[in-house]
Amino acid sequence: DAGVIQSPRHEVTEMGQEVTLRCKPISGHNSLFWYRQTMMRGLELLIYFNNNVPIDDSGMPEDRFSAKMPNASFSTLKIQPSEPRDSAVYFCASSFIEGGNEQFFGPGTRLTVL
């Protein structure tokens, strides 16, 4: 199994640009999570989906952030417009609801907004 796949691994962009982060969960998993990690705030849950449906987006910082899961094998996290304070590592994780609920994390996308 390839595990959770995230792309790109690194993204450098300028303030005001749109950024799209992508995630492919582990095949067969039916929950998907987006996290953000910074030195100041640690690891924060942004949003999660069960069976492709957004369940809790209370962690999404503001309207500039949006996430979609059009099917069971793909999700995106979009930031528009991006700001320097969005610089962070963004992790995607997936799990199987009916299992032990342990989450499997991807390698992360390191985003730098100049």
Instruction: Give the list of residues 6+ apart from residue 31 with CB closer than 8 angstroms, or none.
Output: 48, 49, 50, 94, 95, 96, 97, 101, 103
Choice between 81 and 96, CB closer to other proteins: 96
- For residue 65, how many other CB atoms are within 10 A of its CB? 20
Choice between 71 and 101, CB closer to other proteins: 101
Min CB(106)–other proteins separation in Å: 6
Instruction: Give the list of residues 6+ apart from residue 42 with CB closer than 8 angstroms, or none.
Output: none
**Where on the chain is the footprint of other proteins (CB under 8 A)?**
4, 31, 33, 42-45, 48, 50, 55-56, 89, 91, 93, 95, 97, 100-108, 110
Choice between 22 and 81, CB closer to other proteins: 22
